[in-house]
Structure 1
Amino acid sequence: MTDANRATGLNQRTWSRGGLHLRDVTFDAPFDHFDGGAALPGAASASSAAPASIEVFARIIATETDSTKPHLVFLQGGPGVEAPRPITPVGRSTWLARALEDFQVVMLDQRGTGRSSPIGSVSGRITGLDGVGDDPTDIAEALSRYRADAIVEDAEVLRQGLGIDTWSLLGQSFGGFTALRYVSAHSESLNEVYFTGGLPAIGTDPATVYATTWEGMKDKSEQYYRAFPGDRDKLARLVDLAETGGGIALPGGARATTERIRLLGHFLGASDGPEKLHYLLDLDPASAAFRHDLAAALPFSGRNPLYAVVHESCWADGGVTNWAARRAMPADVSADPTLLAGEHAGPESLTEDPELAPFAEVGQLVAARDWPRLYDADALRAADVRGAAAVYFEDAYVPPEYSLATADLLEGVKSWVTNEYEHNGLRADGYRVLDRLIGLARE
């Protein structure tokens, strides 16, 4: 490995494995790209409650040592999850294999994840926010700088540091939300943009979106029980067990109460999920295997705390979220815990897991924040960027009707509406999905 290019503000190390040439890049980005914005009541100013900068990491993957191919930035789903790590040799059916035919791929660890100043909790204290202190109001104020708008500005620092005039984007799920913000704020930096299950609603109360996803999850729950008729009774017994014992005890001191058990419905948003859920419910609830597997299956955990704490804020194109998914829960779902949830975050995930408990008060403050707008509809209409979007007709997390309305604002982006895939289409059949999008964009 070699150090290089410190004069540009980037620290770079190159290495090779399995036919891939990789360049690891770290750089400093401003912690606050927006000069403070509107602070939470009682919060210290940004200058006194946060560091001036944070370290951000990206890995550039190519098939040639000094490739002249253009760059494609992969924006990961989440929020709060780092970019994938390449496995060599690259599988021929993966999106990465297709991307490397045309591009060098930039895997960006979004701030607060992976090697980009990761946020977590260790021994009951929040880590990764040096200089912020322990006051929940100041921590919540700092976490307001971890949305798509800040991630885009970090990427712009990297692009300029690398001396790249323009590059392209591939956004999966929340990564698509981030890509849309990129088009809205910096379309002049982009050649092409691809969305997979990631065109969000614009200017819409998140509770309205979640009301739609609840209806979708009701349908997916009933479809699941028709495929696995005995599993409704199994899940009802789990709920009874949770209700009588104050929650099912999990390894590490966590508990799973009724609403956390309901979150097992997130399996139903992926093509291979129903079988995974069935095999979990097939285990004896009293066994250690079941307790460990249940803990691993719950979507909000201490591994990626930002996923739970700022999850709803990614939908907030202005306004206050105030636990929008819980506010939007239909009465029939509330009355029947066998009707499962998807990515419907609630405050219990922050109180029933010891690793997330330090974020409980912070999460309430984040939910009460009045967020600025993320997208400018006029800028989206004016953007001269070509691309394509995979809109999944039965997407459990990003309703297609909102995606298509947003796609109408993007003159250069063509939509592919399909029921061949669930939300995980890019993971399930990545080569074909990305190849179809590239073909659409370049017709």
Structure 2
Amino acid sequence: MNSHRHPGLVLTDHRFTVPLDHADPDGETIEVFGREVVAAAKAGEDLPWLLYLEGGPGFGARRFVGAEAWLGRAVREFRVLLLDQRGTGLSTPANRQTLPVRGGPGEQADYLAHFRSDGIVRDCELIRPQLTGGAPWTVLGQSFGGFCAVRYLSASPEGLERVLITGGLPSLDAHADDVYRAAYPRIERKVAAHYARYPQDVARARAIATYLAERRPHSGGHHLTSEGFRSLGILLGSGNGSHQLHHILENAFVTGPHGAELSDAFQESMRTATSFAPHPLYAVMHEAIYGQGARPTAWAAERVRTEFPAFDDATGDGPVMFTGESIHPWHFDVDPALRPLRETAELLAARTGWPVLYDVERLAANEVPVAAAVYHDDMYVDTAHSLRTAASIRGLRTWVTSEYEHDGLRAGGPHVLDRLLALVRDECDR
């Protein structure tokens, strides 16, 4: 184990060996990385553990600099484990460079089928006794990390002292089609709100989309397309995302010897914002996290999009309708980090027989204290779906708020964590 210090903190790196397939504990293994964080003044104390599960799928745990955001509040009473879920961060990587070691697309898809919340929770249960001596721990799940926490409640509640969820209560039974059928109207509202705030962006976005449709420039091997441009709408789900999007758009064009052209600054901003190189599993596994039972996900976001004419940009008139947290087949054509994984993604989209993730009866009999922040009109996770799930988990207390967007844990971390801890400890009203 390697340890180092940040101001006021001691950080210790842990590497754990876990089975690829927990149903075959003597088979192939992979490595999972976690970073322990404790207040320097309490480093020698016997503190309870808090496990942090990042959103995603496909994102490693956030790399904090010192006691920022919610972490400063957490280390006042917990020893924190920032877990890089399997395939992410410093855990055994799964990307275009490493997956070919598995073989062809079929072998790669079979391998990645183990990288959902059920595998992640089994990892956590192997790791927990190594750190806590067998004591249950508190889990804080952000977004997809909340999906994992609900799976944890379904599969291994004995490992849980309490559960805190932020923007991550999944539907227990919705197909991916249902998820996106609920999502597109929310995205449309977010886009309308952006244009109301920045009406000058209507003409700018249309000019950019038209230019990209006609020219399809390249930036660092990345094809810049009108579809890719519209995916910048994913920014609109965060508290300052509308402002970020506006700043990207406002310097889109410069005048060169042949007239107006997209600026290098804009092209680089768009490439950076839309590249999956840092987190390819987000694209590859995105719809698979909703798979349960015999029905394939079958590129749900792309199919369901056709039910919402506002998102059909073929006519080229009217405001550009940005998209949000949705993955489409064309992502695997334009992004060099995804291009080699196109066939693998196709096989995952066609896959049937996904294990059921949530045990409805067990959740109805839950005895673990649970609190969840549900963000009103969250662009990423449907509020109605979340509230139905909250009502299905015995004893779960909700805090429904419009004070934050989906990134409330980052933007208002100490306050959000304080509120959830008070709810699970029965120290405040709903």
Q: TM-score scaled by structure 2?
A: 0.91
**Any idea what the Cα deviations from partners look like across 1:106-158, whole Å, max 9, x if unmatched?**
1111111111011223xxxx31575x22x111101111111111111111111
Give the CA deviation at 1:306.
Answer: 0.3
- Is 1:419 aligned with 2:402? yes
Match for residue 270 of structure 1?
Answer: 238
**What is the 5 A alignment of 1:94-243?**
94-121=69-96, 126-127=97-98, 130=101, 132-133=102-103, 135-162=104-131, 163-243=133-213
Give the CA deviation at 1:19.
Answer: 1.8
Instruction: Indicate if the aligned counterparts of 1:241 and 1:248 stay in contact, CA closer than 8 A.
Output: no
Q: Distance in 2 between matches of 1:256 and 1:386?
A: 47
- Is 1:435 aligned with 2:424? no
What amino acid is the match of 1:353?
D
Where 1:34 maps in the other structure, the secondary structure is coil
Q: Distance in 1 between matches of 2:2 and 2:270?
A: 39
- Is 1:85 aligned with 2:63? yes
- Is 1:249 aligned with 2:238? no
Match for residue 266 of structure 2?
Answer: 290
What amino acid is the match of 2:53?
L
Match for residue 32 of structure 1?
Answer: 21
Q: Which runs of 5+ in 1 are unaligned?
A: 1-11, 37-46
**Any idea what the Cα deviations from partners look like across 1:53-111, whole Å, max 9, x if unmatched?**
011111111112223121010000011110112312x13xx211111122111111111
Instruction: Indicate if the aligned counterparts of 2:99 and 2:108 stay in contact, CA closer than 8 A.
Output: no
Give the CA deviation at 1:369.
Answer: 0.9
Q: Distance in 1 between matches of 2:114 and 2:188?
A: 34
What amino acid is the match of 1:238?
I
Instruction: Indicate if the aligned counterparts of 1:73 and 1:170 stay in contact, CA closer than 8 A.
Output: yes
Q: Distance in 1 between matches of 2:396 and 2:82?
A: 23
Please, which of 369, 380, 383 is the counterpart of residue 351 of structure 2? Answer: 369
**Any idea what the Cα deviations from partners look like across 1:144-198, whole Å, max 9, x if unmatched?**
1111111111111111222232101000000000111111100011010011000
Residues 331 and 402 of structure 1, relative CA distance in 2, 3 Å threshold: closer
Give the CA deviation at 1:297.
Answer: 1.4
**Any idea what the Cα deviations from partners look like across 1:306-346, whole Å, max 9, x if unmatched?**
01000111122333111111111133233247111111110
Q: TM-score scaled by structure 1?
A: 0.89
Higher mean C-alpha displacement, 410-419 vs 184-193: 410-419
Where 2:2 maps in the other structure, the secondary structure is strand
Give the CA deviation at 1:384.
Answer: 1.2
Please, which of 333, 337, 361 is the counterpart of residue 355 of structure 1? Answer: 337
Instruction: Indicate if the aligned counterparts of 2:208 and 2:252 stay in contact, CA closer than 8 A.
Output: no
Q: Distance in 1 between matches of 2:423 and 2:245?
A: 35
- Is 1:345 aligned with 2:327? yes
**Any idea what the Cα deviations from partners look like across 1:212-264, whole Å, max 9, x if unmatched?**
1100111111111111112111111121112212x2322x1111222221111
Match for residue 405 of structure 1?
Answer: 388
- Is 1:322 aligned with 2:332? no
What amino acid is the match of 2:126?
V
Instruction: Indicate if the aligned counterparts of 1:67 and 1:104 stay in contact, CA closer than 8 A.
Output: no
Instruction: Indicate if the aligned counterparts of 1:197 and 1:423 stay in contact, CA closer than 8 A.
Output: yes
Give the CA deviation at 1:16.
Answer: 3.1
Instruction: Indicate if the aligned counterparts of 1:117 and 1:128 stay in contact, CA closer than 8 A.
Output: no
Instruction: Indicate if the aligned counterparts of 2:397 and 2:423 stay in contact, CA closer than 8 A.
Output: yes
Q: Distance in 2 between matches of 1:397 and 1:67?
A: 39
Instruction: Indicate if the aligned counterparts of 2:409 and 2:416 stay in contact, CA closer than 8 A.
Output: yes
Match for residue 46 of structure 2?
Answer: 68
Where 2:76 maps in the other structure, the secondary structure is helix
Taking only the aligned residue pairs, the percentage that are identical comes to 40
Q: Distance in 1 between matches of 2:365 and 2:46?
A: 30
Where 1:320 maps in the other structure, the secondary structure is coil
Give the CA deviation at 1:35.
Answer: 4.2
Q: Which runs of 5+ in 2 are unaligned?
A: 254-261, 314-318
Q: Distance in 2 between matches of 1:307 and 1:357?
A: 14
Instruction: Indicate if the aligned counterparts of 2:311 and 2:322 stay in contact, CA closer than 8 A.
Output: no
Instruction: Indicate if the aligned counterparts of 1:202 and 1:317 stay in contact, CA closer than 8 A.
Output: no
Q: Distance in 2 between matches of 1:165 and 1:22?
A: 21
Instruction: Indicate if the aligned counterparts of 2:22 and 2:119 stay in contact, CA closer than 8 A.
Output: yes
CA RMSD of aligned residues (A): 1.6
